[in-house]
């Protein structure tokens, strides 16, 4: 029997990280945990080290790393602890690692995810912000370094399953006319712009179908998540924004679809449980048990569809426009959104202010080519400065 594959889980203490560890633990014959990383959640990382005994654990700050080292020593565990952004890159590109789950939230995931791609790993991409920021550079690196890129966002994972195995080179080449990107509509589906003005972070984070981290929960509520996913789909599947239709589907049972020239529409269905796309990404082209309950269509009974309300939720339009503008526009959009979401969660910005801030930062930042990492990171930094300045002026 072959050796278990070594897996690094970036963002292990998050929602996707925990689901990944759940799937890995079901298949000790196939996978072993090489490294687990977190930002500040040292207690949670300690608990994961006790259960999964990784060779390496990474935290952001040395003080947290020292704390973890001490606890692990007391427990008689041999896990080595490192810290800082360089350590994230090291555990992503290490020669013994075969699979990297990219599940850090936000721009902080870009460098380690890109390092995994450049080292030719199987990269399970949950960290959509990394691809949104660096689109063509990222996809070029996948091709150049022979990485295997598997989308973990449930929508992109669904489309991946509905497309031919070799799907690069433009949708038309494969007889695909449109990608149908489904959206639950978030907790405020059907709300007017006036009603949205007073929503709280707690309301925004209470997603009807999915249990997720706070940043993506707010993105789902504003529909920026769907906008980021539209950009992600353009890069993953060589699609133009006009070839992607967002379809609000409140039950979150169909995870997305591909429409073909002959009138066929292929859909992937399943319970809303991220362990399905994670297990798919880990085992592709095989299939393994994900611990997910079987879909009961009689219990679901009906599937509804409606268009997205772009007047009440401007973030979707803003994201589409950023993709159409190209260059550093998606990186600027992403950075402005990260600052806006944090400000909303901290009570410094109202819900409607998120789209407004993103729009103002887009206007303030020049459009540059996004063909080098330095330029992308500079655009990200500029957008964050503009966003903070706008917040300060209000």
Residues found near ligand NAP in the complex (CB under 6 A):
11-17, 38-41, 60, 103-105, 108, 126-129, 153, 210, 212-213, 215-216, 274
Quick one: which of 177, 159, 136 has its CA closest to 229? 159
Closest CB 252 distance from ligand NAP, rounded Å: 11
Run of H or E including 179: strand 176-183
What CA–CA distance (Å, rounded) separates 12 from 38? 6
Query: Which residue in the shown chain puts its C-beta closest to ligand NAP?
Result: 14
Measured from the CB atom, the residue of 17 and 314 that comes closer to ligand NAP is 17
Closest CB 10 distance from ligand NAP, rounded Å: 7
Closest CB 172 distance from ligand NAP, rounded Å: 28
Residue pair 112/19 in contact (Cβ under 8 Å)? The answer is no
Q: How many CB atoms lie within 10 A of CB 172?
A: 12
What CA–CA distance (Å, rounded) separates 238 from 153? 17
Closest CB 262 distance from ligand NAP, rounded Å: 31
Measured from the CB atom, the residue of 177 and 271 that comes closer to ligand NAP is 271
Measured from the CB atom, the residue of 259 and 274 that comes closer to ligand NAP is 274
Closest CB 129 distance from ligand NAP, rounded Å: 5
Measured from the CB atom, the residue of 167 and 226 that comes closer to ligand NAP is 226
Give the CA-trace dihedral at 30, 104, 155, 220, to 10 degrees: 150
The dihedral of CA 385, 390, 393, 394: what is its sign? negative
Q: Which residues contact 385 (CB under 8 A, 6 or more apart)?
A: none
Measured from the CB atom, the residue of 90 and 360 that comes closer to ligand NAP is 90
Closest CB 335 distance from ligand NAP, rounded Å: 13
Q: How many CB atoms lie within 10 A of CB 53?
A: 14
Measured from the CB atom, the residue of 184 and 243 that comes closer to ligand NAP is 184
């Amino acid at each position: 029997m072959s050796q278990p594959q070594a897996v690094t889980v970036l963002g292990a203490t998050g929602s996707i990280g925990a689901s990944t560890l759940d799937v890995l633990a079901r298949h000790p014959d196939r996978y072993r945990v090489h490294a687990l990383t977190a930002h500040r959640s040292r207690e949670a990382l300690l608990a994961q080290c006790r259960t999964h005994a990784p060779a390496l654990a990474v935290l952001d700050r040395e003080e947290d790393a020292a704390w973890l080292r001490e606890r692990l020593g007391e427990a008689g565990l041999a896990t080595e602890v490192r810290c800082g952004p360089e350590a994230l890159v090291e555990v992503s590109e290490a020669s013994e690692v075969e699979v990297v789950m990219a599940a850090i939230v936000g721009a902080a995931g870009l460098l380690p995810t890109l390092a995994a791609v450049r080292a030719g790993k199987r990269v399970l991409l949950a960290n959509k912000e990394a691809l949104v920021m660096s689109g063509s550079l990222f996809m070029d690196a996948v091709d150049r370094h022979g990485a295997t890129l598997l989308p973990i966002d449930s929508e992109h994972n669904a489309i991946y399953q509905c497309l031919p195995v070799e799907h690069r080179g433009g949708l038309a080449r494969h007889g695909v006319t449109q990608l149908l990107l489904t959206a639950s509509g978030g907790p405020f589906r059907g709300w007017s712009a006036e009603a949205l003005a007073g929503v709280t972070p707690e309301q925004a984070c209470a997603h009807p179908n999915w249990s997720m981290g706070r940043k993506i929960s707010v993105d789902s509520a504003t529909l920026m998540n769907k906008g980021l996913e539209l950009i992600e789909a353009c890069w993953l599947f060589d699609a133009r924004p006009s070839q992607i239709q967002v379809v609000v589907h409140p039950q979150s049972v169909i995870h997305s679809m591909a429409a073909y020239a002959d009138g066929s529409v292929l859909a992937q269905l399943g319970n809303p449980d991220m362990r399905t796309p994670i297990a798919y990404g880990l085992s592709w082209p095989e299939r393994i048990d994900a611990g997910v309950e079987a879909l009961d269509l009689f219990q679901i009974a009906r599937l509804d569809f409606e268009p997205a309300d772009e007047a009440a939720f401007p973030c979707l339009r803003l994201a589409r426009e950023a993709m159409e503008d190209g260059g550093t526009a998606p990186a600027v959009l992403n950075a402005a959104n990260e600052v806006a979401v944090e400000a909303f969660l901290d009570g410094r910005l109202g819900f409607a202010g998120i789209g407004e801030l993103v729009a103002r930062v887009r206007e303030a930042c020049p459009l540059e080519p996004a063909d080098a990492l330095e330029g992308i990171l500079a655009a990200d930094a500029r957008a964050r400065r503009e966003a903070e300045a706008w917040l300060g002026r209000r």
